[in-house]
Amino acid sequence: MTVIGAVRSIVLECRDPEPLAVFWSQVLGHEIAQRDDDWWALERPTGGPRLAFQVVEDFAPPPWPGRTGEQQIHLDVEVDDLDRGTEEVVRLGARILSDVVDEDGDPWRVFADPAGHPFCLVSFA
């Protein structure tokens, strides 16, 4: 198989990248590596793709729940304890959107980050 490239960044659009970068830095423990007026980026201390935040003036968060195709992308974050993870992300500014149990019986909780992007916490413990 021919490799054309590698994922450099996963980019979330937003109106204001600073508070979103701070939120996700605290949730994931990633370092803020780049700060500009319209672009902030986090890097994992262990490497891998960056999580970045780009200004879009007319940004509107995706609806939840939405029709197929409206959400487009979300992050799944694995935690050791779903209830403790919930307390922490809510303290940092997330809001709970719904609880889900998948077909294997694993509980998931869906949140919106401070800009309204959906993300999930899941614990397989």
Give 24-52 pLDDT, tens digit per residue.
999 999 999 999 999 999 999 899 999 99
Domains of the chain: 1-56 (3.30.720.120), 74-125 (3.10.180.10)
User: pTM of the predicted model, to two decimals?
Assistant: 0.85
18: its two tokens: 């600073």
Q: What is the 3-state secondary structure (H, E, C) of 1-31?
A: CCCCCCCCEEEEEECCHHHHHHHHHHHHCCE
**By C-alpha distance, which of 107, 105, 70, 106 is closest to 96?**
107
